[in-house]
Structure 1
Amino acid sequence: MTLHHVDSFQDYTEDEVFASVKNLIKKENRTYTAFQKRLLFADLIKYISTERLLMPTLEVAEDFNFIQDLNDLNKLVETIPLDQDYSRKDLAQLKAIAFSEIILINLFFQQFGRPEDVPELQVSYSNKAVETNSEELLEHLKRSAYIKIAENTVKSGKAAKDKFKAIITSMASIDYANKTEFFKHDKEYLKEIKDNIPEENTPTVLPAQNKTSPSFFKHPECFKLFEDYAANYIIEPYVDYSFIFQQLKDEKLIHPISHKEFILWLKSAGHTTQKENDLLLEKGHFRSLSKSTNQARLNSYYKLKDKYFEND
């Protein structure tokens, strides 16, 4: 959770804030894209410290389609419980910051889509500050965007590696120029993807044919399907194994088995490393099917199901 303290925002006069808003919404203002203008607006309203300016500013923004459903936004902000008595100025700015955070997250979701497993936005007041999980949501959004990049990238060869290298280099340049580590984890994540992209003409890994099907798989074909999926489509072990386990369970292709038993079997069968197994055991259970499914995983699964269950 991140705290946005009212004292961390420099005071501007009402005239300065409103003049900046009017400048942003001018059609002839071509300095910024429409999306950038909305982001700047969301940031700008954090500096509003009077109720007299806050609502008229939001109403003007709604009139110019900078924000949508102001009534719904206002109802949401009004339901945030107060943790103490505040001065009128502090309360107005707390509301302004809350509006800003909600508008900001909605803008990113509208622009880039809402990831399937993203948590709900949480907003609360805490000792003259607004506490939100917006940074966590943006991390989900970035990660989802990177996965889409990976899914839409050539699956092998130098072209794919070069694409990821260019993205990583851009992130490194931004961090270096600004003396930050904002993209530290993102660079590590993308580098891991890049380093695991196979070279061109690398044959698809096929599951071993001499393995005996464990008793909890209902048919040998179910086991072959799982082995093929595990050999070729596991990128994020926790989410991917959650999906294939829950999908097989949902389609009644495996007999009842606890999550922990299946996790331990994955390690004993050589599907997970010790580190991956420790992570799965720490989680204690797989994600639900709804929280681990996406179109790419479904496509891969049904492709293999058609392969091993041709007559179904």
Structure 2
Amino acid sequence: MAVTSPEPEGLPASVTIWEVGPRDGLQNESGVVPAEVKIEFLHRLADAGLPVVETTSFVRPEWVPQLADAGVVLDGLRRRDGVRYPVLVPNARGLDRALDAGVSDIAVFASATETFTRRNLNRGLDEQFAMFDPVVRRAGGEGLRVRGYISMAFGDPWEGPVDVDQVVSVGKRLLDMGCDQLSIGDTIGVATPGHVETLLRTFTGAGVGVERLAVHFHDTYGQALANTYAALRVGVSTVDASAGGLGGCPYAKSATGNLATEDLVWMLEGLGIEHGVDLEALVETSVWMAGHLGRPSPSRVVKALAGQ
């Protein structure tokens, strides 16, 4: 196991891992994973101690066919006490379906750039808020917790580097309409630690409490763990990760896999930060899923511990 360092200064005592593999991971697969495999994947992740397991998305099937079975998956899910199972909700119709399925957590997926908003939502940067506002407000009125994703927060494949103040403006608008938390996404994996710290400190300088911020890194340039450490140093205590490093973004072809949950857990253990995850069970789960996908996990920790 990882050697634990002395108690580091300036880091959170515990971190909530927001597992995105079943949604963000599987949505980028070329084939469709059977619903029964997804359901077992969800059960295994919860059994491994993950406190939040993002389950699926109520997007239109023609947009993300890999998640067209969202209703079937939720019907077959055996919810574990103490575990949250958020779903991504793109619009009012998606919220109707989420409420019918009895979910308690939803997320909306906004963008920090005009071009990606057009490509992903067929709306302009400002127009996206008109779509999200009634969804977020109604969800809050129904007692649901709402997360706001901010994609392209560091760089955009069409527009290049993204202005920090623009990202903060998008985030504050999401919070003002009722989002409980922001997940700041490096969708194409171009962020570096200094950029991460600058953006997060700009958020806190604008009056956004660090407890309302989460980070979501992709490992395109091998910076996901370094960026996560930079976020921890600022005080962020919720980190998105994907079991086995699954995932990317179907609308941004340069986006490679998410930060692997196993790699994150290994680092947290070395830092002496509590996380509540059984690493051995998680590795077994990722090896099992890799078998269903027909390829080995890209996670360095999975490869090391499973001998892949």
TM-score (norm 1): 0.29
The structure whose residues are more often strand, as a share, is: 2
The structure with the larger Rg is 1
Higher relative contact order (CA 8 A, sep 6+): 2
TM-score (norm 2): 0.29
The structure whose residues are more often helix, as a share, is: 1
